[in-house]
Chain A
Amino acid sequence: MQITLGPLLFFWPKKEVVTFYEKVAESSIDRVYLGEVVCSKRRELKLDDWLNIAKMLQAKGKEVVLSTLTLIEAESELSQVSKVCENGEFAVEANDMAAVHYLTKAGIPFITGPSVNLYSAEALQVLHRTGLKRWVLPVELSFDHLKLIMSRLKELGINDLETEVFSYGYLPLAYSARCFTARTHELSKDSCEFSCIKSSAGIPLATQEGDALFTINGIQTLSGSCHNILDQWQVMQDAGVKAMRLSGHSEDILKTAEEFVLAMGSGSSGKYVMGCNGYWLGEAGINQR
């Protein structure tokens, strides 16, 4: 089982990002997804900066994938996605059909992130024909759905498609034209003062009764609790899942990764602070069992 680190969903100062990935380079994580996937206004790091981090990680033996913007509205954003797809050196994770289009056109094998809507083996088959080599299961699908998809893939004769599962972290739930962080600070999106940088792990949103519901992260809405299905690694492995994705909201993710590696090494399911796991069980995602 490979351990991967998903793209950083939050807006951190450049120095912190660089320091973070220097530590990632020394960790047990096998594959690292890099790049800004939430908001094009977050420009602490330019594409060249991400490429420098990518090269540093690669030199340390990590597999590196560049991940593209999810919600594309402006032409400038589209050309940025095109540049990432044409980087010529690193594999690319498409988070929108725009990236799928560029990569397919160029004949470059690609990966799809959790926001590309692939809910059946038949849908995977369509993209497999155009160069899909790995996909991340949409976060709202259950283990039962995954098993059905995997067995149907076999029936369709598709044996070389790798499956990755989002296994730890705040779940990406929605994307909007509106920036909720700016709204919280009573600013408009066009003059947001890059306020996302003030909340390194997003802003909690709770019901009036104090139940944690969502996490506001700019134009993205994340789950209010941290999703955690790391203890499921054995059933995933048996089902043919090749990689488990961790998504970080602080440097603590590296500690979680090391604990997880130890647990897998000793054949145990591991001891974690439980988060939500409802989606994996075929229930409301917020549920925790």
Chain B
Amino acid sequence: MELVCPAGNLPSLKAAVDNGADAVYIGFRDETNARHFAGLNFSDQRAIKALDYVNKNPRGKKVRLFVAVNTYAQATNWNRWKKAVDMCADFGVDALIAADISVLDYASKRHPDLNLHLSVQASATNQASLSFYHDHFGIKRAVLPRVLSLKQVERLAQKSPVELEVFAFGSLCIMAEGRCILSSYVTGESPNTAGACSPASAVRWQTTANGMETRLGGLLIDRFDNNEQAGYPTLCKGRFEVNGKVSHAIEEPTSLNTLDLIPELYQAGISAVKIEGRQRSPAYVAEVVRIWREAIDHYQTNPTSFSTHERWMSGLAKLSEGSQTTLGAYNRPWQ
């Protein structure tokens, strides 16, 4: 099972490689990728340095480099996505991760040797949808949205025409990826249109007599007591009023952690596990990758007696939103 790790910049990429990533995924410095944040991502020059680093991995093993061109090409600037695809082909990246059918179509026709992975943003959750992308664009792998239960993942893996990659750890999208525009409803920008969810430009932090208030597009997302850690105002994790009761009506601030599921994912034939977090620091990437590497190696040497170590779980909990983790949709009661 390939460990696929995030890098928003060169130091994070080095941290991922040095701590045992099998593959690292990056994005270019524009709206063609779903983590389009200021100061993040790779210019052409930086992408070449990234390639050099993965090719000369000091640990001796070849690390693969994937590039996400996984937003929806907009009518205003379709050629930008085309250029991003051409760059991936020129660089000889190990995979292009894409969601938009026009991007996939262009890539498969113009660069037939380019290895295509279907991004989670394509919202492909079932065998027929995967078949569509496989038949039309020859995708080799798909990243599954975080909406399927473990049982559903296992069944899909039996029938899927392509390799499957699932999310292992990181921020938890509550909604089916590629099918959530809560962000643009409040800010005008969504992952699909701008590669951004709850963009920083729309965020406000205010200290008030009622405590710390976080706002998005002027709307109150949450209010924190002095003894609470204020979280980033993401629409799905705010405290709202429903039927007269204020609560985390959609989800609590929490991160996905599937370390416990490593044996099941292996047995299901899942090809890769993905760590979320291109927006995270090199130190975060280093620690998460190190723990996951250790856990996967541990399973591979002791497949019958694998158990999660407490130090892995507490190490990951410290790096999680609200210091708590969940199995998310993998676990049916969560749904």
Contact = CB atoms under 8 A, between A and B. Distances in A.
Chains A and B are bound partners: yes
Interface string A116-134: 0111111101110010000
Given A177-B147, A209-B220, A284-B188, A140 B193 contact: yes
Given A115-B179, A123-B100, A179 B335 contact: yes
Contact of B182 (A101, A118, A221, A279): A221
Contact of B217 (A70, A127, A149, A284): A284
B148 interface: yes
B332 A190 contact: yes
Interface in A81-127: 81-82, 96-102, 104, 115, 117-123, 125-127
Interface in B162-192: 174-176, 178-182, 184-188, 190, 192
A211 B219 contact: yes
B184 A285 contact: yes
Interface residues of A, number: 73
A183 interface: yes
Interface string A173-208: 111111110011000111000000000000111111
A35 interface: no
B241 interface: yes
A213 to B, nearest CB: 6
Contact of A205 (B184, B240, B328): B240
Contact of A148 (B75, B105, B122, B240): B75
Interface stretch (B2-10, B56-64, B129-137): B129-137
Contacts of B328: 177
Interface string B67-82: 0000011111010000
A212 to B, nearest CB: 10
B128 A98 contact: yes
Nearest to B215: A207
Given A208-B223, A221-B175, A101 B128 contact: yes
A71 interface: yes
Interface in B115-146: 122-129, 131-133, 135-136, 146
A126 B217 contact: no
Chain B binding site: helix, strand, loop or mixed by DSSP? mixed
16 contacts: A100-B132, A117-B192, A119-B73, A120-B74, A121-B78, A125-B102, A174-B180, A174-B236, A175-B175, A176-B174, A177-B176, A189-B335, A205-B242, A221-B250, A279-B185, A284-B184
A103 B205 CA distance: 49
A147 B63 CA distance: 44
Contact of A286 (B129, B217, B220, B239): B217
